[in-house]
Amino acid sequence: MPHFQTSDNLSIYYEDEGTGLPVLCLAGLTRNSADFSFVAPHLTEYRVIAMDYRGRGLSDNADDFMSYNILREAQDALELLDHLGIERCAVLGTSRGGLIAMVLSLGHAARLSGVILNDIGPAVAPAGLERIMDYVGKTPPYPDLDAMAEALALGLAREFPGVPLSRWRAQAEFMFAEEVGGGLRLRYDARLRDAMIGQAGAGEAPDLWQLFDGLRDIPLAVLRGANSDLLSVETLSEMKARHPDMIAAEIPDRGHVPFLDEPEALETIHALLRRLS
């Protein structure tokens, strides 16, 4: 399995498939490269690269959990591109991955040929943040992945109506692993919760609108789940005002986050990537 070594000596797992325009896929807060499994079959004409952030998936946990932050994770992404000899790429960023793309746009805009943000913007709705803090770092109390899938289907039925149980079963396996004696374990370092709490108490948060403005000269597309509790309609409207050339699409029957293989999502992703090609 391919890994590379970061400048602070962590082994980071990545996947690299296909040829053509490089598309770097950056996952959500607790997610990993498997999260792009649903969209990857629709991107066969591109070079699709996905990484597990430090402390997630098959990558090393960091000794210092405070390094689980978007600045260091952006640096890891740059080091992966350098490792692969890629000068410029498009970024498909889901949630936290979109924030990392914004960080990259400020100091390293020349490395970005285009950006697609999946249900994330420069203002995070409080309800969405509260929901995230309710589960991050906590092992779910279910005996196996089948039970976890049923819990996801039930708990997210309002935001994701009509999603079959088989999809939730696949998603559950991306997010958790079964223990030999029963129960589940997280596919990420539980200290990610400590990092979030520590960073929230460390002083003034960065101005995410300033980060977003770094994308002003970069081709941009934004996907919003119609039922999202993280990216509001008002925030998306302000994003359009600041970036008039931005492609925006609302994905029906989806909350945070769309799976990316929905017809509306694929149409938007391909529209942006074709523009870059």
The predicted pLDDT at position 204 comes to 59
pLDDT per residue as tens digits for the range 41-76: 999 999 999 999 999 999 999 999 999 999 999 999
Please report, for the chain, the start and end positions of each structural domain, with discontinuous segments joined by +: 3-137+188-276
Token pair 């990857």 is at which residue?
Answer: 40
In angstroms, rounded to a whole number, what is the distance separating the alpha carbons of residues 74 and 56?
15
Q: Are 2 and 69 in contact (CB under 8 A)?
A: no
The hierarchical CATH code for the domain 3-137+188-276 is 3.40.50.1820
Q: Checking DSSP bridges between strand 47-51 and strand 11-17, what pairing results, if any? A: antiparallel
The predicted pLDDT at position 203 comes to 63
The predicted pLDDT at position 207 comes to 85
The predicted pLDDT at position 277 comes to 85
The predicted pLDDT at position 202 comes to 67
Polymer length in residues for the chain = 277
CA 216 to centroid of chain Cα atoms: 21
Q: Are 119 and 256 in contact (CB under 8 A)?
A: yes
How many Cβ atoms from other residues are within 10 Å of residue 45's Cβ? 14
The predicted pLDDT at position 200 comes to 80
The predicted pLDDT at position 206 comes to 73
Q: Is 123 left (phi over 0), alpha (psi -120 to 50) or beta?
A: beta
Residues of the chain with pLDDT under 70: 201-205
Q: Are 232 and 128 in contact (CB under 8 A)?
A: no
* Alpha helices per DSSP H over the chain: 70-84, 96-107, 126-135, 145-155, 165-175, 192-200, 208-213, 233-242, 263-276
